[in-house]
Structure 1
């Protein structure tokens, strides 16, 4: 699966079989990324796409040395389940 990062629209996106999935974020400060929303088209749910988008966003945050906030409830749960992996970049 190919995930694209659209920095202008502050989103990570992917498309499969004509259906879309997106993880949106804001940059409340230069060193913080706030993941605000995750959406996976109903036809794609249950296939792990939201997890893949989450991993892509968190990898980007780590590469850019950003601290991560999780306004999105899905992301809050994701980082809680994977706390040992991402504790160093959480705001």
Structure 2
């Protein structure tokens, strides 16, 4: 399956072939220039394909483009931010 990441307000997501949501990451504004990643989900059919990492990367790119910082609250996002030094520029201190 080709996972095309789509965007809606405060979320990025991937639909399956039937148009059902198969993966998503959600974030909420927290202050004027900060967002909190509060949820990441990937269905069993997409697990192991790096989709969750691509969803986090989508939020990082959005934050960089808008000059926002990110607070990773969801456990998956926390792990990604701990492991990826290249995301430290958007990590809220």
- Superposed CA RMSD: 1.2
Where does residue 67 of structure 2 map in the other structure? 65
| More strand as a share of residues | 1
Q: Give the unaligned 5+ runs of structure 1.
A: none
Runs in 1 of length 4+ with deviation above 3 angstroms?
Answer: 16-19
Distance in 2 between residues matched to 1:3 and 1:30, nearest whole Å = 26
| More helix as a share of residues | 1
2:25 maps to 1:29 = no
Distance in 2 between residues matched to 1:36 and 1:28, nearest whole Å = 11
Compute the displacement of 1:89 (Å): 1.1
With normalisation by structure 1, the TM-score equals: 0.89
The alignment covers a number of residue pairs equal to 88
Compute the displacement of 1:16 (Å): 3.2
Q: Specify which of 20, 38, 47 is matched with residue 49 of structure 2.
A: 47
SS at match of 2:49: coil
Where does residue 86 of structure 1 map in the other structure? 87
Distance in 2 between residues matched to 1:59 and 1:73, nearest whole Å = 20
Distance in 1 between residues matched to 2:66 and 2:60, nearest whole Å = 10
Distance in 1 between residues matched to 2:32 and 2:23, nearest whole Å = 26
